[in-house]
Chains A and B, each alone.
Chain A
Amino acid sequence: MAEESKSQVPPSPGESKPAAEKPVPPAQASAPPSEKPASDKPATPPAVAKPAAPAAAGATPAAPAKPAAPAKAPVPTPVPWTSPMVEKYKKQYGSGLEAQSYLGQNYFTVDRSLIPDFLKLLRDDEQFDYCVDLTAAHYPKREKQFDVFWILYSFPRNERIRVKTQIADGESLPSSFPIWPTADWLEREVYDMFGIKFDGHPGLKRILLPDGWQGFPLRKDYGILQQDKEWVQINLGIESGQ
């Protein structure tokens, strides 16, 4: 709950920088109390959701001010990533593709419509033959609620990149299973935790949670103590799992 009220924005270059330059004394005072509600959170679920939200909201503007005190390392920001490969695909896809680098890690942000083709090109033409991981993150306040990430590695090039795309709730993605068979379980886990469907997956069903479970736990609107009460009562024969 508390997280929702915080930043929904994907990392953007100019944002936290200017704030970091002005040291605000009250910020120091407000930062430690914001720690408290966070640590109390698991203890009392219903009471926490409310007090935590304002505290966290109060901490957010103060957040960039804190590192201003040592004022040594500048806040790292994504910088454009240039390489022959990037140039090639920029020419091909134009504005549908963005290439950036954050703390030395390179990633593409691509339009959803490019998804199966671009990934296939990466494997076939650029030798990204190993799909390290496939995962997602939920931003409920955004219009396109989900970021989906592919972490790819190339054995011949010894290079690791990420591909990132945004999709709306209810929208599905083409499965990467035909490209990397390892995506089988990884996509099942993303479906299990976020409810994102992958078209063309050979057997998209829950993997960690039981088949009949309702709800997708890693969405931000799913509370940490929330559970499928009905499932628990029917299948475990107890009132609640807590």
Chain B
Amino acid sequence: MNEIKDNALPHAVAPTNLDLDTPDKPYLDSNELIINMGPQHPATHGVLRVILKLDGEKVLGTECVIGYLHRGVEKIAENRTYTMFNPYVDRMDYVAAVSNGLGYCQAVEKLLNIEAPPRANYIRVILTELNRLASHQIWLGTHALDIGAMTPLFYTFRDREEILKIFEKYCGARLTTHAFRIGGCQYELYNGFEKDVKNFLSFFPPKMDEYEALLTGNRIWIDRTKNVGMLSAKDAIALGVTGPMLRASGVKWDIRKAIPYANYKDFDFEVPIGQNGDTYDRYLVRMQEMRQSCRIIEQAVNGIPEGPIMAKVPKVIKPPVGEIYHSIEAPKGELGYFIVSDGSTQPYRVRVRPPSFVNLQALDTMVRGQLVADVVAVIGTIDIVLGEVDR
């Protein structure tokens, strides 16, 4: 296992040297075998294709083939107004649509040099953190299912429903919420929102104990995740990995703390980190993160100030000429928007820096030298959403 750690970085070069086009080479008498996993494979979380080079059960190298879900979101953005592009960002990371919307709205607000009012920021934080819980729940359910534990999937989907109900009551949509607008929020909180959120906060932590009772001390779970998919802090930084994956490798970095946005600096929460950078640590980090999210929501819901929910935004949004980069801590890592404005109503260029895309690059480093079954565990632990990888 140590060999991955030592020469992990040069490996990033290797996928291109897989020698896939050697039909004349009779590989049956050699030990190496090239097999194809996906794109239609339940454990690839959508349409990811991984070409594996194997020596028996051992992985010698991988190559990811992506783009099956490419919709040209960045091109679409150049042909829409700033407001019209807003719903499109929900379709990238569709299990954390609220985070996508927050990142985009804040980037445009920055470009316009305006700020959302405090009340809007509180609403944004509550919904975004609820969405982080929903996203982590999907991750936990599907990741555990991939490894062979079926029950957590039913548990997490059952409890995620409560979050989606709050979203539905707030804005009418469950997944692609389009909850925020440039300058604030469109909708005022519905009657009983605080009560619903507080009910959820008393309902959810016991459920998390249930998940942990199923997995944390489970012999099979530990065997399948401990020392699997190791990623050292050095490699994680070099590969640009962010989010829970980076923190599980021992780097205490969270954009909510490092470069605070919205009003995260008003809240008291901790940034959990791991030590070994293996799949088990990433599991623990995400579980603790969910508890921290509950803390943030609790503080926010008890302190929602009165006031407007929309800043003064011009009817026609025409930001001055300039470029801006803004990023937020999405459930999967650093989600950034780089927007170039030419002073017209449509963005000149929108670049989305998706966390899944960059994190997926680390797959090869993480699975080299491990077993085929571990590839499934590692894809699950990266927590990819192909809608965001391919955009």
Contact = CB atoms under 8 A, between A and B. Distances in A.
Given A158-B258, A160-B259, A203-B15, A11 B348 contact: no
Contacts of A182: 238-240, 358, 361
Contact of A208 (B258, B321, B390): B390
A2 B111 CA distance: 22
B110 interface: yes
Contacts of B238: 129, 180-182
B259 to A, nearest CB: 7
Interface in B309-357: 312, 314, 316, 318, 320-325, 327, 334, 336, 338, 340, 342-346, 348-349, 351, 353, 357
Nearest to B71: A208
A72 B74 CA distance: 32
Contacts of B304: none
Contacts of B343: 6-7, 16, 60, 63-64
B150 interface: no
Interface in A177-226: 180-182, 184-186, 193, 202-203, 205-210, 217-218, 220, 222, 224
B28 interface: no
A210 to B, nearest CB: 7
B13 interface: yes
Interface stretch (A37-45, A82-90, A112-120, A231-239): A37-45
A74 to B, nearest CB: 9
Contacts of B320: 16, 64, 67, 75-76
Interface stretch (A28-36, A91-99, A165-173): A28-36
B298 interface: no
A24 interface: no
Nearest to A75: B320
A151 B326 CA distance: 11
Contacts of A32: 316
Nearest to A63: B343
Nearest to B353: A133
A184 B10 CA distance: 12
A7 B72 CA distance: 23
A47 interface: no
Contacts of A105: 324-325
Interface in B336-386: 336, 338, 340, 342-346, 348-349, 351, 353, 357-358, 361
A137 interface: yes
A108 interface: no
Contacts of A133: 325, 336, 338, 351, 353
Interface stretch (B78-86, B96-104, B183-191, B194-202): B78-86
B72 A217 contact: yes
B123 to A, nearest CB: 24
Interface string A123-167: 000000111110101100000000001010001001010100000
A6 B13 CA distance: 41
Contacts of B237: 129-130, 155
A174 interface: no
A53 interface: no
Given A135-B351, A151-B338, A38 B81 contact: yes
Nearest to B9: A181
A3 B349 CA distance: 10
B70 A11 contact: no
Given A34-B345, A59-B345, A151 B323 contact: no
Given A35-B81, A38-B81, A76-B320, A207 B358 contact: no
Nearest to B321: A11
B16 A202 contact: yes
B348 A137 contact: yes
B173 interface: no
Interface in B80-95: 80-81, 84
B76 interface: yes
Interface string A42-83: 100000000000001001100110110010010110100000
B259 A210 contact: no
A180 B340 CA distance: 24
Given A102-B323, A103-B324, A184-B12, A3 B66 contact: no
A220 B70 CA distance: 19
Contact of B318 (A66, A184, A208): A66
Given A6-B344, A76-B322, A103 B316 contact: no
A202 B84 CA distance: 39
Contacts of A218: 74-75, 349
B322 A103 contact: yes
Contacts of A217: 72, 75
A132 B353 contact: yes
Given A76-B113, A155-B253, A182-B358, A31 B336 contact: no
B78 A35 contact: no
7 contacts: A35-B316, A67-B320, A105-B325, A155-B253, A182-B358, A217-B72, A224-B76
Interface of B: 9, 12-13, 15-16, 66-67, 70, 72, 74-76, 78-81, 84, 110-111, 113-114, 237-240, 251, 253, 258-259, 312, 314, 316, 318, 320-325, 327, 334, 336, 338, 340, 342-346, 348-349, 351, 353, 357-358, 361, 390-391
Given A6-B342, A224-B76, 12 more contacts: A3-B342, A11-B321, A38-B346, A70-B312, A107-B323, A130-B240, A131-B240, A149-B323, A160-B259, A180-B238, A181-B12, A181-B238
Interface of A: 2-3, 6-7, 9, 11-12, 15-16, 31-32, 34-35, 38-39, 41-42, 56, 59-60, 63-64, 66-67, 70, 73, 75-76, 78, 102-103, 105, 107, 129-133, 135, 137-138, 149, 151, 155, 158, 160, 162, 180-182, 184-186, 193, 202-203, 205-210, 217-218, 220, 222, 224
